[in-house]
Amino acid sequence: MKRRGRNGGTSAAGALLAGLLLASGCAAPDDGAAPESTTRAVRATLDRRAAAVLAHDTDAYLATTDPRATGLRAAQRRELGNLADVPLGSWTYRLRDVTAQGTDRATADVELRYRIKGYDAAPVAADRVLDLRRDREAGRWYVVGDRAGGDGARQLWQQGDVRVVRGKHSLVLGVGRTDQELRAVARTADRAVPAVSDAWPERWAGRVVVLVPRTVDDMAELLGSAADYRGIAAVTTGRTGGAGRTPADRVIVNPQAYGTLGAFGQRVVLTHETTHVATRAHTSAATPTWLSEGFADWAAYRSEDRTAARIAPELANAVARGEMPAALPTDEDFGFAGDAARLARAYEGGWAACELIAERWGEQKLLAFYRAVGGHSGRDGAVEQAMHEVLDTTEQDFTVLWREYLRSALG
């Protein structure tokens, strides 16, 4: 989510297995789909690797890595040590595809899936690409390379030793941050969770995992993005859903921008992000950004004693200049790059739309509207149908009311 959250995530493909060459007695190709025997052997290597991570067994983990790959072995020893305090509930590799390079080399496209015990109802998913070599004498396949896959994201434990702080409703994981800093984040997150549950009474996990990396560049690496996050206090990861179990979210804090905020600003940021976590299952591709971000801001400011003009200062300034927006913010208005004032006005416009619904139709109607939009089959017609069925209005008439609200509340 932008500024204080982002919908994102990855999707998984099924494993590609090819045993026809073996069945016909033909030789394996120099470069192509791996034979069934290779796929089975690679899967067994990955299973041993996963079991070693869960057991924090360094020797067993390194036993799956090529003895000759000294640099990789040293890096993976450090990574496993960095994970030592993280309470893992599961760690698996889902094998999507194995490509052979000759008879003794292969590349595996895998999805790393892991859960944090007591916090994740479903796993976090991360794309990885593993290069492997077969040692004919030992009769085993070894990992010789391990890198980010399609999502391009690094993991927190690849950036350094992970410190862990447990809150009442939160788990904070940090690298390069002091325990005092992480405890302060946990205290704020612990206030955010019940505030979100009060604003969003739907069933959700009621807890949040927060990552605090060393720098804003490390934050970008965790997100697998080259975007400029310098002015972004925090971001929420995870797939939008609408049906079934959605993968676990992570709130990632930019320590530089977050650290410049006072207690009020930090509370608003983490309540906003936690709202994205809570509403994830009801947020889908049909949900416009003005609604997902506006609702998160509405939940964050809901119990705060702030006037509309203080919540939406950029929009108030625009209204005072006679620059009344003609329509609700578009998804493009929420882009990171470009005019910061335009981005602020987009967030503030989304908040004002949700505040208008809560004031005019009531909070229950706002919740029903959010669910109805997210439950639509696609973006086309989602808002229009929900406005008709839930609010008994049209998008055109709502826009007129929204503009009148901006004039009266901010003018």
Give residue-wise pLDDT tens across range 65-115.
Answer: 999 999 999 999 999 999 999 999 999 999 999 999 889 999 999 999 999
How are strands ordered across the β-sheet holding 124-135?
A: 31-33, 88-101, 105-116, 124-135, 140-148
Averaged pLDDT of the chain = 90
User: Which span out of 24-38, 189-203, 242-256 was modeled with the highest average pLDDT?
Assistant: 189-203
**Contact status, residue 132 vs residue 125, Cβ threshold 8 Å:** no
The confidence score (pLDDT) of residue 150 equals 86
pLDDT digits (tens, 9 = 90+) for 22-75: 222 333 345 577 789 999 999 999 999 999 999 999 999 999 999 999 999 999
> How much is the average pLDDT of 261-289?
96
**Domain 20-152 class in CATH:** alpha beta
Predicted pLDDT at 411: 81
In this prediction, residue 240 carries a pLDDT of 62
For residue 53, which of 76, 25, 33, 32 has the smallest C-alpha distance?
Answer: 76
- Give percent of the chain with pLDDT exceeding 90: 82
Query: What are residue 115's DSSP bridge partners?
Result: 90
Residue range(s) in the chain whose domain bears CATH number 3.10.450.50: 20-152
**What's the pTM?**
0.88
Q: Which residues contact 317 (CB under 8 A, 6 or more apart)?
A: none
Q: What is the DSSP track for 124-140?
A: EEEEEEEEEEEETTTTE
